[in-house]
Structure 1
Amino acid sequence: FIMENCDELMPDYLNFIKGVVDSEDLPLNISRETLQQSKILKVIRKNLIKKCMELFSEIAEDKDNFKKFYEQFGKNIKLGIHEDSTNRKKLAEFLRYHTSTSGDETSSLSGLRLPHEGEPDRPFYYITGESREAVANSAFVERVKKRGFEVVYMVDPIDEYCVQQLKEFDGKKLVSVTREGLELPESEEEKKKFEEDKVKFEKLCKVMKDILDKKVQKVSVSNRLVSSPCCIVTSEYGWSANMERIMKAQAFRDSSTMGYMASKKNLEINPDHSIMKALRERVENDQDDKTARDLVVLLFETALLTSGFSLEEPGSHANRIYRMIKLGLDIDEADAVEESTSEPVAVPKVEGAEEDASRMEEVD
């Protein structure tokens, strides 16, 4: 009995492995055309996977060879982490990523440096996104990098599925910097200032929530931002902005799933940013200020874009931008558009045109 492409012997994520399995005794079904499920097949499958892991470990000893291997079959390893719970821990050792400190080189998760020697339980921070440049310049990594923590850049679409299953590595949790509830170590002085800022910006947060209404779950003061005025964070168990983008691109996506899995958005503001300080003063003076309302929506939509989301109404966003440009150029709204009531320009008649038209009718 000879069989080609036996799916029972090798998992899908190892479909690039080619070889021959020779056994003296394999159980066949009654028609003797296919193999029967048995303990023998499971043992062979287990040993084949184990042998593959050993081969991967051998390749990983040579950095240059493993780099070529990973470029070709890195996605298969990530798929294995998603599908194979038994070998997930072993497969995670073969993952390679760029980080905020690795430059052009990639690093394994075990090669990530600990934030502080005295804090071995500190989690690994990661961010998912469309490209390495996009995540490196993201508002989410500002404070984390400033504190000296290394951030793993995950820019492959399959990474989203991979980290859903890989909750921890080597006893340390993997924490997304784009999720709400991000906790960074703070001094007592910083904690005190943060509590004061929450009280100081309480009214602004309430006004912004009223303006944005159902677009966000809540508006709160953040300590994760440095140079950005605000950002959009997602709930711990919902889709990230990157995952939402991936799911929207699916040809056969389930619209019903999009409804309840789509990210629940929270707007976090930077109390130290000049824009938020000026906006707070404006709202304190008059919370019904039309310009302030426009600015809040504009800030929210800009934060959506910088946080990796797409706009539901890009036309409205464009109009708000145009209004701000007019304001900056000191253009009066009444003079912005030329009057459409002006008389149309008279077009001079061409001699002989009517005569030619009548001749054409005769020909018809």
Structure 2
Amino acid sequence: MQEPFPVRKIIHIDMDAFYASVEQLDNPELRGKPLAVGGSEQRGVVAAASYEARKFGVRSAMSGVAAKRNCPQLIFVRPRFDRYREISKQIRAIFLEYTDLVEPLSLDEAYLDVTENKKGNPSASMIASEIRKMIKEQTGLNASAGISVNKFVAKIASDINKPNGQKTISPEEVETFLEGLDVKKFFGVGKVTKEKMYRLGIFTGLDLKTHSLEFLEEHFGKSGKHYYNAVRGVHHSKVKPSRIQKSLAAEHTFSENISSEIFMMERLEEIAAEVENRLKKSRLAGKTVTLKIRYSDFSLQTRSRTLSDFIDGGKQILTVVKELLFQERMKESVRLLGISISNLNNETHKMEAEAKVSIDVQLKLEF
């Protein structure tokens, strides 16, 4: 007999092409035009693309060169993260009008548990609609939403009616919905696992559901139980309002490749100062310093050192970075340098708010 599990009312809010939409909002001349935030037609990587650019196959993480090849009329703009954070705070404030159980995933998306909410509204679908309307009124931006019984299904649902739409998967619809999904949509199924499942004849959720727990554990180890439960709508992960930041970083892509370590140190001094600024703003310090190096052939190398004490100063960071830079010779000229600080001291300030939800009737919640 399948173990009982709590059915919650979870909303996943996902802003539509957030960075690009902010740029188009602030600059009317960019509206309706194919736009890429980040990168350039010579180098760099696209951080976000407007829907007009996506029609040409421009996607985030694509090189600027490939993006321009796909869309010759593409406009590149530099990211303005302070502005994105400003609007993200406005959106977060809207969420908190409905529930304190808000789990941000990034600046542009979050989970909300509205099983019990501040408005006393029994309909998660209505709450999602209200939130999207308030976001539009207060920021001028569009958001999409997915509503369901757990985080996994809600996140998939939010993508169905994008942009500027929402989709509700009610408790009684969950298993049928999951059965129709391509297995690559399931949490934990990356490219390698997807190919393995395809080789085993597992293409959809329904195919996955036909296999026993023993079969899945035999072929996928500990992940087998996760896949077995997920396709049956069992996903216990709660909305965690206090997501602990695990690292803080800054990096810079150069307009021209550099090979001189003197020039690298000059750039690293600037990056270390930016990391210090971010640490101070967040009131954080860390013990592990990592130097990120991307070479002209696009290969990536990281070098790390863990200290005995927490640090948050640019000069302290730079001292460690200098040792990491000179610990071995560069194999190529360099196109990107970055510094990250991890092993942060925020674990001592951890205050996780647990969802205090008690539900008697699980399958007939109003969605």
Report the structure, 1 or 2, having the larger strand content.
Answer: 2
Larger relative contact order (CA 8 Å, sep ≥ 6): 2
TM-score band w.r.t. shorter chain:
under 0.3
Report the structure, 1 or 2, having the larger helix content.
Answer: 1
Task: Return the TM-score normalized by structure 2.
Answer: 0.22
Larger radius of gyration: 1
